[in-house]
A and B are shown apart, each in its own frame.
Chain A
Amino acid sequence: MAETAKSARHHVVVGSGVAGFQAAETLRERDPDSRITILTLSRLLFYKRYDLPKVFRGSRDWREFLVHPAEFYRDRRIGMRRASHVANVDSRRKVITLDHKEEIRFDTLLVASGGRAYLPEELAEFRPLMHNFGSYEDAITMAKALPERGHAIMLGGDMIGLDLARTLIDTQHRVTLVAGPHTFWPHEVGESERPALVATLEKMGIEVIEGADTGGIASIEQGARGFSARRVLFKDGTEIAGDVVMPFFGLMPSVEFMLGSGVDIERGLLVSPGLRTTDESIYAAGDVCQIWSDAERRYRFYYGWKNVRAMGDLAARNITGSSDPWVPAQDEKLHISGDGRIQSPFWEYE
């Protein structure tokens, strides 16, 4: 491993999730004299997004979700710029422009902006009638909208949604899942494995409707006064009513601000096994990047808390002089355990 670089370089990290936070921590360890700035859209310091289902168990104070207090960042001289919207990145000038036109120069940039909930374009017009669950604010809004023992309709059913569904069932709510190709995302489930997994969901208490059997969703409507708040109408003429409708169709990399920056993008930022983009001063880590896999001969995403954290650490090490390749930190297999429960490495976090 190369010697840790010592400089007064300005490392900028975009994103304060698992990858961004881990990268900042590693950068500070390995480059003690540098300036480190985290730019994040979030109004909160780094918090445990994976713990958000706890809002249904009574945890609603934002302080309970923080990983570290503000002093942690102050002591480590990590600048945390919250509610900062990056408008674009000029890789040639090494300048980030924020939405309010402020320009921030960087020596190295780590993009760890993660992903936001993907909503299939055919459902985009119904967005105002759905509840997201991607942030603390979303979770609180959703918790307020779902009454005690209320009925949540979950569309898609990725592993983030199914994790929430487990909590909702535990807390005496009713959950209906409209299943489809995104169910169990990011796991790729074969045709032969799927029936057993769906049956397991049903055993957990989740009511499953196969979306394909209904011809797909025709529309989502607001319920009339005195009735359930939402109705999901299917193309075969059937419908279901519930209190909230929640889309869980996986994540879409947040790369908009990188368009025009000069680095390569397909769905995510395309990075080498060392997590470097096509610009030598820009790295990416977490759900935002597609990493070149020599073994599979393609760019691919790696998901899961452990993977994302390892990516943040690796990117920071490579920024500070190492040249290590990416090695996945967790397997990706979804399976049913001996006690009949679904086990996913995606749900394993500290």
Chain B
Amino acid sequence: MGEIRPPSEAPGAPAAEQREYISDDPRDIGWVKQNVPCQSACPAGTNVPVYIREIIERQYGRSYETNREANVLPGVLGRICSRPCESQCRHGWPGNGEPVAICHLKRVAADLKDAGHRITERLYSPTGKRVAIVGAGPAGVAAAHDLSLLGHDVVILEREELAGGMLRYGIPEFRLPRGTLDVELHNALRLGVQLRTGVEIGTAKGQTPLAALLHDYDAVLLATGCMAASPLPLQGEWEKRDPGKELADVEYGLDFLVQMHRGEKKRVGKRVAVVGAGFTALDCARVAARLGAEEVTIHIRTAEEYIPVTQEEIFEAKREGVRIKGLRTPVGLATDDKGRLTGIEFVQNRLGGWRAGGRRQAIPIEGSEFVEPCDTLIIAIGQQTVNDFLGTKLELDRWGNVRVGENGMTSQAGLFAAGDYVRGASTVVEAVGHGRHTARRIDAWLMHHERRRQVVRIVPVDKPLRERAFDFIPRQHMPTAPLAERMRGVGREVETGMDEQTAFEEAKRCYLCNLRYQIDIDRCIFCRACIEVAPRNCIKLVRGVEIGDDGAYGRLLETKEWNQVGAIWIDNNECIRCGQCYNACPVQCISISRCELTEVEV
């Protein structure tokens, strides 16, 4: 922890006396990162409080654009995002209730904007630089969009017939309608990005060598994702064998979905078992239920509480008849004399400690093997990158993913990589965020300097934007299609979208954590009126505030001794922005300002 300064050195004057201004003070940047947990948790850095506030104001188009500044696919991610923001939402902290439905509100912005909504883009003049991107998945598309805004000529080379990558070929239509995907992909690429589909990169005949791209373009970005299914490690007679190749009734989940979305007719048996704990496993199970399986079970190593999918997805899968069975690891397969699958042999697990990355360990229990009958097995335990198309040797990390430096570049000059291809199988929003980040690095490399930098825009706010009553609104639910209707095929979207009134109620729940409440201690008369009305322990008597190494505020040094009080300080970590203190202050020494991370030209 760094130096300790008295709180009188709080940056800036009281907001009431200010105009809007831009700050590059690390304390302001640190304040936003600490106090707006949803935005900090979003890999794309979406300005969540601002877009939710715009929904309250019924400015859906503006809300959509606020989203689009960070993420070019708001309508897509408003449906299928893994929602790292919601698990950090202050409304979901202990004692505060449930998190705000941030993801559903993103979809609201996309759904309710005007049909003739005008997209705004900040275009740079042409640079004359050419960039090739391999892969039209979320990372590639996000990077292509940002690079084209920055004035570069961008070409995307895609192996499949259509753009979208995992979005199109890995996610079923009942979660992501293709119309929404097509429109947002089109909008992302319409600034002159050339999309060439059906192009395979490689060294074989008919393929385009990577070396040729490196020769023809100023920079090349690899964003080919993780498109190879991870094999299932089994024991005994199945050790080192691939049941996906040997048994007709065993498929890899990713291949199952990709083949279906390429137009192949897929079939499953009556009793389908899915092994895996991610969105792909859930998607495979829900597809199997729609294809007519009578019993669909998902088998996981730990417990439902620890699997990396949203509770809503789990609930909808269960509603469709899918059952989840926990604390088991597959160790073998049972087949009949004709080689048909008859069951999976599992070993019972107990829970162990925590693995790096926040997942639970599962520890097999010796001698606890049992067989679960099934006639179809779908393996969906993860995905891996494929590097055999490169035709050149790149440095890889221990997981076989290509290694990149801080500038986003691989071990070969001019060759960059982004998204799952670098980070291993992750989420769509992480891929989008990493695509954006890498686009910025490519731009800096091509132009020999950073062209944009992060600052905080601080805007005075003249009154509280929330009411205490908003804190008691329960989380609003996403309406869904009737069960009978959705199970008729894989194309009927399950979540039907919030209407305007429901969205308004949900948006009001947001604490608007980007509002900074401050007390001007020169004007404070220490009357304690604010402390009396505060609904939480959010206003504190302090003798100082620690300042972190990065310049951001740290721990408050509280005191109960009046002769040591340096200030009455609003602890923005505890504050739920209800405005009670502002309204109670007799000398109006409390100010409110809105602090937004933004970028300006260097």
Contact = CB atoms under 8 A, between A and B. Distances in A.
A122 B484 CA distance: 10
Interface string A116-129: 00001110110000
B303 interface: yes
Interface in A216-260: 218-219, 259-260
Nearest to A265: B305
Nearest to A103: B95
A267 B326 contact: yes
B321 A122 contact: yes
Interface in B476-531: 482-484
B263 interface: no
A326 interface: no
Contact of B483 (A122, A266, A292): A122
A260 B94 contact: yes
Contact of B315 (A103, A121, A267): A121
Contacts of B348: 297-298
B305 A259 contact: yes
A204 interface: no
Contacts of B303: 264-267
B439 to A, nearest CB: 37
Given A88-B94, A124-B319, A266 B484 contact: no
Contact of A266 (B321, B327, B365, B367): B327
A270 B363 CA distance: 14
B362 to A, nearest CB: 11
Contact of A122 (B95, B320, B350, B368): B320
A342 interface: no
B326 to A, nearest CB: 5
B346 to A, nearest CB: 11
A87 interface: yes
B351 interface: yes
Contacts of A219: 484
Nearest to A212: B294
Contacts of A87: 94-95
B367 A297 contact: yes
Interface in B56-79: none
A90 interface: yes
B368 A298 contact: yes
A266 B95 contact: no
Contacts of B319: 121-122, 124-125
A292 B348 CA distance: 12
B326 A97 contact: no
Contacts of A88: 94-95
Contacts of A101: 95
Contacts of A120: 318
A292 B95 contact: no
Contacts of B318: 120-122
Given A259-B305, A266-B326, A299-B327, A125 B482 contact: yes
Contacts of A90: 94
Interface of B: 94-95, 303-305, 315-316, 318-321, 326-327, 348, 350-351, 365-368, 482-484
Interface of A: 87-88, 90, 97, 101, 103, 120-122, 124-125, 218-219, 259-260, 264-267, 270, 278, 292, 297-299
20 contacts: A87-B94, A88-B95, A90-B94, A97-B95, A120-B318, A121-B319, A121-B320, A124-B315, A125-B482, A259-B305, A264-B351, A265-B305, A266-B303, A267-B304, A270-B350, A297-B365, A297-B366, A297-B367, A298-B327, A299-B350
Given A88-B95, A264-B351, 5 more contacts: A97-B94, A121-B320, A259-B305, A265-B303, A266-B327
